Amino acid sequence: MGILNVSSINMHFGGLQALNNVNLDVRQGTVHAIIGPNGAGKSTLLNCFVGRLTPDTGVVDFDGISLIGLKPHEINQAGVSRVFQTPEIFGDLSLLENVMIPAFAKRDGSYRQNLWAPLRGESKIRERAMAALADVKMADKAGMIANTLSRGDKRRLELAMGLVQEPKLLLLDEPTAGMARADTNATIALLKEISATGLTMVIIEHDMHVVFSLAERITVLAQGTVIAEDEPAKIKGHPKVQEAYLGGTHS
Ligand SMILES: Nc1ncnc2c1ncn2[C@@H]1O[C@H](COP(=O)(O)OP(=O)(O)OP(=O)(O)O)[C@@H](O)[C@H]1O
């Protein structure tokens, strides 16, 4: 049994079967990649883990609890954090403030409640936020305004906003999308460091260099169906995987 057990997930949008009997088992402390051509159903699946979508049928068990029917903030409090593809940061606030907000949200359950309530335990949260910024090598930029960061740095800030929640499972949606190669390599190194602390990560990624540098296990989706799940060396030469990508539109 893994920390995240997904079985028999089906999800349709109108006449489109976006997920078709999907099973996935993410083992504790591993980096598990979900790959597949455009439109394969990767984001839909991730959205089923965080409560943004409710599958038509199926089971999503995380660390002994069922996530089906829970609200996004409840799933977050259960220990699942997500780093989005487009950074969802507060542009006018400092890096430190940006990282403090999800720490309060994890503790208290919602953003809005926190922004107007007295900031209980602020110094502890501030300390944790500084530690999370240090984890992504941005402690020296804590006072900078988030909007002034480069795109790569904004992604790292978002990573800190996930880490500050001290999740048991971190979901990363294309963490290197749109990055130049040097930034991508720096992000790979950073994620390797974070993985070495024992944090379980699920990563959606199109860049195979990133996938094969990080993943210990890979699930391949095509047209909503899992066509392979294995260790990276076996996925590379898998005939069904090559077929799914042949002439595919993945970037
Ligand atoms: N809210 C929605 N309403 C209708 N169709 C949707 C919705 N969300 C996704 N789809 C469709 O479901 C299918 C799976 O989409 P999804 O975004 O999960 O794929 P993906 O593998 O993440 O693709 P990409 O790599 O391009 O992000 C696609 O055909 C998409 O058009």
If you average pLDDT over residues 89-110, what whole number do you get? Answer: 87
Residue 82 Cβ < 6 Å to ligand 1: no
Q: Which atom of ligand 1 is least distant from the CA of 53?
A: 1
Nearest to 126 by CA among 143, 112, 109: 143
What are the backbone angles phi and psi of residue 31, rounded to the nearest 5°?
-105, 120
Residue 80 parent element (H or E) = strand 80-83
Say how far apart CA 11 and CA 116 lie, in whole Å: 38
CB atoms within 10 A of CB 40: 25
Asked if residues 82 and 171 have their Cβ atoms less than 8 Å apart, the reply is yes
Measured in Å, residue 139 CA sits from the centre of ligand 1 at 37
The alpha carbon dihedral of 120, 123, 127, 132 has a sign of: positive
If you average pLDDT over residues 144-149, what whole number do you get? Answer: 96
Q: CATH assignment of 1-79+167-251, given 3.40.190.10, 3.40.50.12140, 1.10.230.10, 3.40.50.300?
A: 3.40.50.300
**pLDDT higher than threshold 80 for residue 84:** no
**pLDDT higher than threshold 50 for residue 27:** yes
* pLDDT for the residue numbered 251: 42
Measured in Å, residue 9 CA sits from the centre of ligand 1 at 15
Q: How confident is the model at residue 135 (pLDDT cuts 50, 70, 90)?
A: very high
Q: Report the nearest-CA residue for atom 30 of ligand 1.
A: 39
Specify the domain boundaries for CATH 3.40.50.300 within the chain: 1-79+167-251
Residue 165 Cβ < 6 Å to ligand 1: no
Q: Which atom of ligand 1 is least distant from the CA of 46?
A: 18
Asked if residues 177 and 38 have their Cβ atoms less than 8 Å apart, the reply is no
Measured in Å, residue 18 CA sits from the centre of ligand 1 at 7
Residue 44 Cβ < 6 Å to ligand 1: yes
Q: What is the ipTM of this complex?
A: 0.96
If you average pLDDT over residues 59-66, what whole number do you get? Answer: 96
What are the backbone angles phi and psi of residue 47, rounded to the nearest 5°?
-65, -25
* Amino acid in the structure at residue 170: L
* pLDDT for the residue numbered 241: 81
Measured in Å, residue 19 CA sits from the centre of ligand 1 at 10
Choice among 78-92, 124-138, 166-180, 191-205 with the minimum mean pLDDT: 78-92
